[in-house]
Amino acid sequence: MQTATKLVPLTERAAWKALQTHFQQIHETHLRQLFDGDPGRGERYTAEAVGIFLDYSKNRINDETLKLLIALAEESGLREKIEAMFRGDKINITENRAVLHVALRAPKTESIVVDGEDVIPAVHEVLDKMSGFANRVRSGEWKGHTGKKIRNVVNIGIGGSDLGPVMAYEALKHYSQRDLVFRFVSNVDGSDFAEAVQDLKADETLFLVASKTFTTLETMTNAHSAREWSLAGLGGDEKAVAKHFVAISTNAKEVSKFGIDTENMFGFWDWVGGRYSMDSAIGLSTMLAIGPENFRAVLAGFHAMDVHFRTTPFEKNLPVLLGLLTVWYTDFFNAQTVAILPYEQYLKRFPAYLQQLTMESNGKHVTLDGTHVTAETGPIYWGEPGTNGQHSFYQLIHQGTRLIPCDFIGFYKTLNPLGRHHDMLMANVFAQAEALAFGKTAEQVKAEGTAEALVPHRVFEGNRPSNTILTEKLTPEVLGKLVALYEHNVFTQGAIWNIDSFDQWGVELGKVLATRILGELESSSDPDGSHDTSTNHLIKKYRQNK
């Protein structure tokens, strides 16, 4: 195992200590005061790059906070860590792997060497193979076993092999080929598969089995059920598999074992983490939906943000600023969550996608050198698209007792202009962020003629922080930029906490835990009762009632 450069524990770093003192001075200061004392604040605390505008003025910070957070980033080795990732160093030390999602969107002219080999030519070879295949399917040249055109594409995968593809399909539906139907099956719950195929015909249906390892229980179970369903609908001829199944994997051996010709396999590499893989061959469903050219535009968007992250000074660096603000609230204000609030219906799965990206990456309790962290790590990410959330959980953000930093994401233009809809949507973004920051005082409430007894209920304390992210409209390129913005935001947080943001031992545990119990649920003889009494009882109850 490669070992990490030893860093001074986070809470002993000089900038951390300075931030602690500074926190005592600033944490009671209201955003109203910060704005009153600085007429230029709303324009000054902004940054814009690659067409993405960030207003971070409604955060509980001043120039000193920013200076100290940036000093913390420097002391935590963020600059060197960024370079190490882009260079292809094996920064995922617990799996001894490079972390090179940035190579997936690097232009052909770049060179990134891993274990003595430049990985860029292979990346472009796979992209070209995907493009050829996508063009054949989209044009109808690729025929199913009975000679029919493919009309339905079903992606089977879970976790990183599902959430990115689903999110990207939903986000870019506007650009999709509308005569192709896309479905996504992930859960081992048979209802997921049954519902996905219930109105489809096998002779027009193509399955993409997306699994980095090709051993994941859920995906393999669904893939085998898909194989049976497909063959049953195609007269049982095994040869049909070649026309109706393709694999996306790093494991050629298991792909062949399943019966998929490796000719129909799209590869990627161990240096692509599942949750960082939507821009690898795992994005084949996206490419089938929006076409190779649009897919390359997604990659160009990712790359533009990569270059920004790697080359821009921290004080103007969008992912760095977002990451540092999250550390500020998580570790000093003890905020436990971050709300992601996209005001764009097509981004309805973006918060779910970010949940995996952020929480699987930074849900860690030990540092790279194996010692227990000395400060809180990964906050809980959650959210829903606006304005829907406003009619439910925003209540708690406005008037509850917890501090919930919010990221509002809005667009200057809509993809579906319809009367006044878009102005109304955006008016809500600005109004919500304003209300959260400035609130409404008892005096203001009284001045509105509110009955005395109701005044406390109608007071909004304000001082609730938020970022507002604005960009032109939701294009393939912009989606790439937004995802990369959060990937590097996560990286920044992980660098400060000095954790391995790229392993996932908790997820690996889940992959093995159920296997033993499955045997006990299916066995004809009574299990030996060797679990705790609760688990033994639950197993018994299920066996009696199933």
Pairwise CA distance, residues 26 & 34, whole Å: 10
Q: Is 158 one of the binding residues for ligand G6Q (CB under 6 A)?
A: yes
Q: Can 391 be counted among the known catalytic residues?
A: yes
Q: Over the range 397-428, which residues count as b (16 or more CB within 10 Å of their CB) and which as e?
A: bbeeeebbbbbbbbbeebbeeeeeebeebbeb
78's tokens: 């963020």
Nearer to ligand G6Q, 54 or 158 (CB): 158
- Write down the H helix ranges in 234-345: 241-244, 252-258, 284-290, 292-311, 318-331
| DSSP per residue, 506-524 | HHHHHHHHHHHHHHHHH-S
273 near ligand G6Q, rule: CB under 6 A = yes
Measure the CA–CA gap between 78 and 71, rounded to whole angstroms. Answer: 10
The catalytic position among 28, 43, 239, 391 is 391
56 near 320, Cβ under 8 Å?
no
The residue (of 284 and 437) whose beta carbon lies closer to ligand G6Q is 284
Q: Give yes or no: 531 in active site.
A: no
Beta carbon of residue 362, minimum distance to ligand G6Q (angstroms, whole number): 12
Write out the binding residues for ligand G6Q, residues 445-504 only, by CB under 6 A.
504
Min CB(246)–ligand G6Q separation in Å: 15
What is the closest distance, in whole angstroms, from the C-beta atom of residue 101 to ligand G6Q in the complex? 11
- The verdict on whether 124 is a catalytic residue reads no
Per CB under 6 A, the segment of 68-76, 267-275, 453-461, 478-486 that binds ligand G6Q is 267-275
For the bound state, the minimum distance from the C-beta of residue 216 to ligand G6Q, rounded and expressed in Å, comes to: 3
Minimum Å gap between C-beta 309 and ligand G6Q is: 20
Nearer to ligand G6Q, 213 or 225 (CB): 213
H or E segment at 537? helix 533-545
Cis link prior to 475 (omega < 30° from 0)? no
For position 305 contacting ligand G6Q by CB under 6 A, the verdict is: no
How many residues in the shown chain lie near ligand G6Q by CB under 6 A? 15
Give the x-and-dash track for 496-525 against ligand G6Q (CB under 6 A): --------x--x------------------
Distance set, CA 292 to CA 138, 173, 298 (Å): 10, 14, 10
The span of 38-46, 80-88, 270-278, 313-321 binding ligand G6Q (CB under 6 A) equals 270-278
In angstroms, what CA-CA distances link 23 with 60, 64, 464, 466, 484?
10, 10, 16, 18, 30
DSSP letters spanning 86-133: HHT---BTTTTB---HHHHT--TT---EETTEE-HHHHHHHHHHHHHH
Taking the least distance from each CB to ligand G6Q, the nearer of 233 and 274 is: 274
Q: Which of 88, 144, 160, 301 binds ligand G6Q (CB under 6 A)?
A: 160
Site for ligand G6Q in 202-231 (CB under 6 A): 211-213, 216, 219
For residues 535 and 526, give the distance between their C-alpha atoms in angstroms, rounded to a whole number. 14
CA–CA gap between residue 332 and residue 303 (Å, rounded): 33
Using the rule CB under 6 A, is 274 a contact of ligand G6Q? Answer: yes
Interaction between residue 360 and ligand G6Q (CB under 6 A): yes
Enumerate the active-site residues. Answer: 360, 391, 511
Chain residues that interact with ligand G6Q, rule: CB under 6 A: 158-161, 211-213, 216, 219, 273-275, 360, 504, 507
